[in-house]
Amino acid sequence: MNPFVYQSLPTRVVFGWGKLATLADEIDRLGAKRALILTTPEQQELGEEVARLLGKRSAGVYPYAVMHVPLEVAQAARVEAARLGADCCVAVGGGSTIGLGKAIAMDSGLPIVAVPTTYAGSEMTPIYGLTENRLKKTGRDINVLPKTVIYDAQLTLSLPAQISACSGMNAMAHAVEALYAQDANPIIGFMAEESIRALAQSLPLIVNDPEHPQARSQAQYGAWLAGICLGSVGMALHHKLCHTLGGTFNLPHAQAHAIVLPHAAHYNREAAAGPLQRAARALGGSEASEVGALLYALNERLGIPLSLAELGMPEGGPAEAAQIACASPYYNPRPFEQGPIEDLLTRAWKGLAPA
Ligand SMILES: NC(=O)c1ccc[n+]([C@@H]2O[C@H](COP(=O)([O-])OP(=O)(O)OC[C@H]3O[C@@H](n4cnc5c(N)ncnc54)[C@H](O)[C@@H]3O)[C@@H](O)[C@H]2O)c1
């Protein structure tokens, strides 16, 4: 057996339909008394509902979270948290809202209770991101890891089918890359495989019926496991490419992940044949060489836009992105090769299947 290091992260997870109702108890458990509730402007109403649920434990609703945590947004939120005398943050929403909670925690040490409503997985990671002058910096700090996460799939019913599909494939990308991570280990491997299976089964059901309760629960279960994968081991080519596409071309996060994943997995099919065979099995196939095609077919079945061009990437984008990615590569089972990476991005740009 290969040597490995495994360290679990100390987040308390409360999972179940309707479990938002336990939020006040969870805040009491942390010894906190005044929770600042964070949301995006789009989810302000949900934030107000949470404030009513918390009654005197609510310090107020701060509905200004936006994608990629601009530094000025983080600073304004930190000032507001201090002004209101908040002693914890409740982040209700997707990765953008949880990211704002992390920015406050970095500065003040306030504990976070995360109530995720997408499948992005930020709630299970000690990874933060801050954007200054259009440049996003990310890092790891155990102090930003949420203390408690409440997974209530009822809150995901309102996530539109298309966004659910892309967000679910974003989660799947964490699990696929965890299988061939440089610091992969057996526990994370089990979680990754189970996550891929749960997402592959549930996402088509959600696209068919966004209010399917069992499918919503199963997808959230898969997203939880994928979030643990992302928080525990290093990511590779796929995540490097998606960070480049988001940072340089401002492409939407979850959609870009969904489109690139089949191509990145296909690129690694020989160098990571063993791990990707596990992914293939979880997707209903049998060989690592099939993974790219299986993921591409799943995207098609989910009605996800298949091309980076549709997301607004310019024609010269694949060459530029390949060059940027290769200038500061991550670990990857197959070394970064600029020509083949440009080819894979060109196919992704055109919406073609991996080849
Ligand atoms: N630090 C990490 O570990 C980590 C992990 C994953 C993603 N991220 C970051 O998170 C961001 C993306 O997060 P995201 O994909 O979850 O999107 P998001 O948080 O930006 O949400 C997208 C939109 O959907 C809305 N929304 C969310 N849940 C909803 C629901 N249930 N019903 C209706 N609308 C809903 C939001 O209010 C927002 O308007 C990126 O900045 C990414 O870099 C960070």
pLDDT at 316: 96
167 pLDDT tier (thresholds 50, 70, 90)? very high
- 220 ligand 1 Cβ < 6 A: no
Q: pLDDT at residue 135 above 80?
A: no
CA of 85 to the centre of ligand 1 (A): 27
**What class has domain 161-350?**
mainly alpha
Q: Which atom of ligand 1 is nearest to the CA of 231?
A: 3
> Given this model, what pLDDT does residue 263 score?
98
What is the per-residue pLDDT for 333?
98
CA of 171 to the centre of ligand 1 (A): 12
Q: Going by CA atoms, what residue is nearest to atom 22 of ligand 1? A: 94
Q: Give the pLDDT confidence of 87-125 residue by residue, as tens digits.
A: 999 999 999 999 999 999 999 999 999 999 999 999 999
With the most atoms of ligand 1 within 8 angstroms of its CB, the residue from 40, 45, 61, 128 to mutate is: 40
Annotate 59-110 with DSSP letters as a single string.
EEEE----TT-BHHHHHHHHHHHHHTT-SEEEEEESHHHHHHHHHHHHHH--
**pLDDT confidence bin for 1, thresholds 50/70/90:** confident
Crossing angle for the helix pair 273-282 and 161-179, nearest 10 degrees? 150
Report the pLDDT value the prediction gives residue 262, as an integer from 0 to 100. Answer: 98
Q: How far apart are CA 116 and CA 153, in angstroms?
A: 9
Rounded CA-CA distance 170/217 in Å is 17
Q: How far is the CA of 193 from the centre of ligand 1 (A)?
A: 23
Q: Residue 152: which pLDDT band, with cuts at 50, 70 and 90?
A: very high
Residues 6+ apart with CB under 8 A from 277: 286, 287, 288
| 67 or 179, higher pLDDT | 179
- Report whether 66 contacts 83 (CB < 8 A): no
pLDDT at 328 over 90: yes
Residue 210 identity (one-letter amino acid): P
Q: Report which protein residue has its CA nearest ligand 1's atom 24.
A: 94
Mean pLDDT for 173-189 is 98
3-state secondary structure of 111: coil
Q: Say if ligand 1 is within 6 A of residue 164 CB.
A: no
Q: What is the mean pLDDT of the chain?
A: 97
- State the pLDDT at residue 133: 82
Q: Where are the domains of the chain?
A: 12-156, 161-350
264 pLDDT higher than 90: yes
Non-local (6+) Cβ contacts of 343 within 8 A are none
Q: What is the whole-number distance in angstroms between the Cα of residue 274 and the centre of ligand 1?
A: 32
Reply yes or no on domain 12-156 having CATH 3.40.50.620. no
Give the position of tokens 């979680």. 191
Q: Binning pLDDT at 50, 70 and 90, where does residue 132 land?
A: confident
pLDDT at 130: 93
Please give the pLDDT value at position 145: 98
Token pair, residue 340, equals 């083949």
Write out the two tokens for 188: 């994370």
Helix (H, G, I), strand (E, B) or coil at 158: coil
Distance CA 108, CA 86 (A): 10
Among 20, 42, 49, which residue has the most ligand 1 atoms within 8 Å of its CB, making it the best to mutate?
42
Q: Read off the pLDDT band of 350 (50, 70, 90).
A: very high
Eight-state DSSP code of residue 321:
H
Report whether residue 42 contacts ligand 1, using a CB cutoff of 6 Å: yes
- C-alpha Rg value of the chain to the nearest Å: 20
Confidence of residue 302 (pLDDT cuts 50, 70, 90): very high
Decide whether any atom of ligand 1 lies within 6 Å of the 255 Cβ. Answer: no
The mean per-residue pLDDT over the stretch 327-351 comes to 97
Q: What is the pLDDT of residue 247?
A: 82
139 lines ligand 1 (CB under 6 A): no
Q: What is the pLDDT of residue 136?
A: 79
What pLDDT, on a 0 to 100 scale, did the predictor assign at position 2?
85
pLDDT tens profile 3-22: 999 999 999 999 999 999 99
Distance CA 70, CA 250 (A): 14
Distance 65 CA to ligand 1 centre (A): 10
The helix/strand count (H/E) of the chain reads as: 13, 8
Paired sense of beta strands 127-132 and 135-140, if any: antiparallel
How large is the average pLDDT for residues 120-138? 91
Tokens of residue 279, six digits: 């992914």
Residue 353 is given by DSSP the state P
